[in-house]
Amino acid sequence: MTATYRGTPIAGTTVFTGARSRQGYRINKFAMSLTDPSKRDAFRADERGYMTSCGLTEAEMDLVAKRDWKGLVAAGGNIYVLIKVGGSVGQNLLQMGAQMRGQSFEEFMQSRPARQGAAIERKN
Amino acid sequence: MARIVGGVGCSHAPSIAHSFDRGLQNDPVWAPLYKGYEPAKAWLDKLKPDLIVAVYNDHMNRFFFDAYPTFALGVSDKHPQADEGWGKRDLPDLPGDAEFSWHLAQSLVEDEFDPTICQEMTVDHGILSILPLLTDTRWPAALVPFAANVIQHPLPTPKRFFHLGQAIRRAVESYPKDLRVLVVATGGMSHQLHGDRFGFMNPDWDNEFLDLLEHDPQKLVNLRHHDYMERGGAESVEMIMWLAMRAALGEKVRRIHRHYYAPMLTGYGLIVFEGADA
C-alpha cells in the first residue's frame, strides 16, 4: 500500500490526510465512540447491530467483522482510533500490526529487537 | 516573575502505560527503559517545579475529527483522565492552574497563537503514560496541557512548534508570580503503526534528532513533515512537538540526561535540559 503525500510517495505508508479523514469518517467516529464503556458493552453484545446504529456501510462492517485492520486503514481508518476497536475485541496493537503486515503474530514478534536480543539502548 | 527552569522531551506510548500498570519495571524487556528514567526522576525530585507546561497530542480521546483543533489549551484547575477505550488507569486527576493557563492564553493570542480554549480537558497517554516514570509523586506540580494536531494533516510546521516554544517562554516570563516552570514535550520517536511499514524504527535517525535538538535545532526546524515521516515512520512526525520544548529553553541549553531504547515498536527517547541561564 503506497500513498502519496504532496505527490511524493512513502512506501508502505498511508498518510492521514484530509481526504483520508473524510473517507474514513464513519469508521473513525464509530471507533472513537468505544471510549464510552457502555458503548463498548453494546458493541461487544451485538457488533453488527451497534455498527449499524453508527451508520457504517456493509463493506465497512465486514472489515471490522474480519478484523481486517489493513483493509480498515485503506478505507480511511486512523490507527489511533482503530486500536479502540482492537481493544474492544481483544486484540492489541502488535497483533493488529502483524495482520497489517500479512504476518502471523509470532513471525512479527520474531522481527522485534527485544525478541532478537538486539534491543538498542544508547546513553549518548 | 515566573521562569523556565527545565525541559524534558520524552516518548509517550500506551505500551509504556501498560508496562507500568502490569508491574514490568524489572522485566528484562522493560528494565532498560525504567532505568533510563531514574536520573531524570532524581533531577525532577530536586528541581521541584511549581508548574509543568506539557506540549503533547491527544489520540482521539478528548478531541475527534468532527472539530479537531490544531492547538488546544486546557485552562481548568483539574484535568481528569480520559478513558481511551480499555478503561481508566488507577491514577488521580491531574491538578491544573487556571490562573496561569488564562494568562498563557492571553499571552499566546497576543503573540498570534490562537489555541482552542478548553475548560474541560481530559488527558490521555500523551501525558499520563510518561508522567509516572518521571516522578513517584501523584502529582508533583500543577500541569497545563497544550495539545497539538500531529495526526490529521495538514499539521503545524516544525517552525511553528519552535515559535510556539518561544511564545510559551514569553508567557512564562510575563507572569507576575514567582513560579518555576518545567516544559515537557512528549511523542515519538521513530515508529509507524500502520500499513506494510508497521513496526518501522530508525534508532540512528532518533539519535541524530537528539543531537540536533541539543546543538542545532534549526536543522530540525528546516525539515519537512515528509522528511520526518520518511526517516522515522508516519506516526513519528509528532517528534516536531519537542521543538517547542527546546525553543522554550532559549538558545543554549545544558543537557542533564539523555537515554534511548528501542525494544519493540517505538524508539523510546528521553532528554533533559536546563536553560544555560538557569
Task: Tell me whether strands B71-74 and B116-118 are parallel, antiparallel or unpaired.
Answer: parallel
CB within 8 Å: A80 and B229: no
Q: What is the pLDDT of residues A103-112, one digit of tens each?
A: 999 999 999 9
Asked if residue A100 is part of any domain, the answer here is no
Q: Cβ neighbours of residue A29 under 8 Å, at least 6 residues apart?
A: A54, B64, B65, B66
CB B148 within 8 A of CB B17: no
Q: Cα–Cα distance between B66 and B131 in angstroms, integer?
A: 29
Q: Cα–Cα distance between B11 and B115 in angstroms, integer?
A: 23
Asked if residue A52 is part of any domain, the answer here is yes
Asked if residue A105 is part of any domain, the answer here is no
What's the whole-number average pLDDT of chain B?
97
Q: Which residues in chain A have Cβ-Cβ distances shorter than 8 Å to B37?
A: none
Q: Cα–Cα distance between A52 and A28 in angstroms, integer?
A: 14
Asked if residue A27 is part of any domain, the answer here is yes
In 3-state terms, what secondary structure has residue B75? coil
Q: What is the pLDDT of residue A51?
A: 98
CB within 8 Å: B199 and A11: no
Asked if residue A37 is part of any domain, the answer here is yes
Taking alpha carbons only, the member of B129, B207, B17, B194 closest to residue A124 is B207
Q: What is the pLDDT of residues B214-229, one digit of tens each?
A: 999 999 999 999 999 9
Q: Cβ neighbours of residue B7 under 8 Å, at least 6 residues apart?
A: B182, B183, B184, B185, B245, B246, B248, B249, B253, B272, B273, B274, B275
Q: Cα–Cα distance between A37 and A19 in angstroms, integer?
A: 30
Q: What is the pLDDT of residues B33-48, one digit of tens each?
A: 999 999 999 999 999 9
Question: How is residue B239 annotated by DSSP?
Answer: G
Residues of B forming the active site:
125, 191
CB B219 within 8 A of CB B35: no
**Number of structural domains chain A divides into:** 1
Percent of chain B with pLDDT over 70: 99
Asked if residue A106 is part of any domain, the answer here is no
Can you list the domains of chain B with their CATH numbers? 3-275 (3.40.830.10)
Q: What is the pLDDT of residue A2?
A: 45
Q: Is pLDDT of B268 > 80?
A: yes
Q: What is the pLDDT of residue A5?
A: 63
Spans of chain A below 70 pLDDT? 1-8, 124
ipTM of the complex: 0.94
Cβ-based neighbour number of residue A89 at 10 Å: 14
Residue A47: domain span: 18-91
Q: Is pLDDT of B277 > 80?
A: no
Q: What is the pLDDT of residues B134-164, one digit of tens each?
A: 999 999 999 999 999 999 999 999 999 999 9
**Residue B90 Cα distances to A32, B71, B83, B128, B138, angstroms:** 22, 28, 11, 11, 11
CATH number of the domain enclosing A50? 1.10.700.10
Whether chain B has a CB inside 8 Å of the CB on A7: the answer is no
Q: What is the pLDDT of residue B276?
A: 74
Rounded to two decimals, the pTM is: 0.96
Interface test with A, best of B198, B238, B256 (most A CBs within 10 A): B198
Asked if residue A1 is part of any domain, the answer here is no
Asked if residue A7 is part of any domain, the answer here is no
